[in-house]
Structure 1
């Protein structure tokens, strides 16, 4: 089996983290840069990362996460916050960033700009929220894979009160919404889940070649 599959078989959704083991700052930065470099539709990146280390904040977030211990015991909690709605400013800011990085003019990018505007700006707020949330989940998958490559444990978490997270982290005032959470750290020896056989459908059951 190749190394990628070995690592994906090694990883699991960690239920108990060893709070005495800390992911290094260097490794955290690698993970965050992997998230930053993750693909997104049009390259728009309609989300932000919030890395939570502060003890008091994590205590509040644990209460808003149905008392799940991963929130306080992992080295870090990464909250991926999507933009629940957006307007032309998001696209214009992105175009300006492309111009600055690639040395292009506004005219060079007018066609691309208009394509994004015609495709995205007419969406309902519910559709915008679903679309930007989906983009955050692409980041989540990449973060878990890169973490596994580094033998860093993770637990993706949807079991939390989004309204409370938004209030605790001040996300609503920033025009953001807590989409999904990733706890990052090292598994505890007491986490029996690590010994369970991985359960997945076979290739024949889940993959169709056409």
Structure 2
């Protein structure tokens, strides 16, 4: 697989073919890629909601400024953050490290206490922003994986999170929606597929020291 060739092929798909659906294998790759995304401390204060149901997605179109990709794509991925991060979240994370790696409490305890203290010294808004940073990392990761796997996608910030949160009942799960990623396959008549990619030259974009 030529990674650069696939990144050139990728674009923000404006029109999806509603008749083409992702296979279970492709969808599983995206789920696993999301779960393997790098996050600060590995804490994973983000979650992915995968929506296939067309009736549900249809109800979300008007809250996405009528962007049809939400309905026409094979699946809609909603990247969410936790509304807050608790001491219990940090403890659960370190308990998971201990269970998987069999790391002793003697080694883990200083790091556990440091992260608990760090979170306590942040405001709720700061903790949410911290989580949003992780959400954008996951979006970038998913975009690259989609390109490599030949899956079309369209990253979207333009939607009404509060409406999504209500319809998807995310509040009950301590979650806030922050990003959308419709995924599927481009329609044959999406004119944007043939547009030349517009980027700065490598010399303008990269500084080598």
Give me the TM-score of the superposition, normalised by structure 1. 0.96
Deviation at 1:107, TM superposition (A): 2.8
What SS does the corresponding residue of 1:22 show, helix, strand or coil? Answer: coil
Q: Aligned pair 1:57/2:74, yes or no?
A: no
Distance in 1, matches of 2:124 and 2:108, equals 26
CA RMSD after TM alignment:
1.2
For structure 2, list consecutive stretches of 5 or more residues without a partner in the other structure. none
Q: Which residue is equivalent to 1:117?
A: 116
Distance in 2, matches of 1:199 and 1:115, equals 44
Question: Is the Cα contact below 8 Å between 2:85 and 2:119 reproduced in 1?
Answer: no
- Paired residues in the alignment total 209
Map 1:94-113 onto structure 2 (within 5 A).
Answer: 94-113=93-112
Distance in 2, matches of 1:202 and 1:186, equals 29
For structure 1, list consecutive stretches of 5 or more residues without a partner in the other structure. none
Distance in 1, matches of 2:128 and 2:20, equals 36
Deviation at 1:106, TM superposition (A): 2.7
Distance in 1, matches of 2:196 and 2:32, equals 31
Deviation at 1:24, TM superposition (A): 0.3
Q: Aligned pair 1:148/2:147, yes or no?
A: yes
Deviation at 1:119, TM superposition (A): 2.3
Q: Deviations over 1:124-155 (max 9, x none)?
A: 11111111011011111111101111111000
Q: Which residue is equivalent to 2:20?
A: 21
Q: Which residue is equivalent to 1:209?
A: 208
Q: Aligned pair 1:200/2:199, yes or no?
A: yes
Q: Which residue is equivalent to 2:133?
A: 134
Structure 1 runs of 4+ aligned residues shifted over 6 Å read none
What SS does the corresponding residue of 2:22 show, helix, strand or coil? Answer: coil
Q: Which residue is equivalent to 1:82?
A: 81
Question: Is the Cα contact below 8 Å between 2:51 and 2:76 reproduced in 1?
Answer: yes
Give me the TM-score of the superposition, normalised by structure 2. 0.96
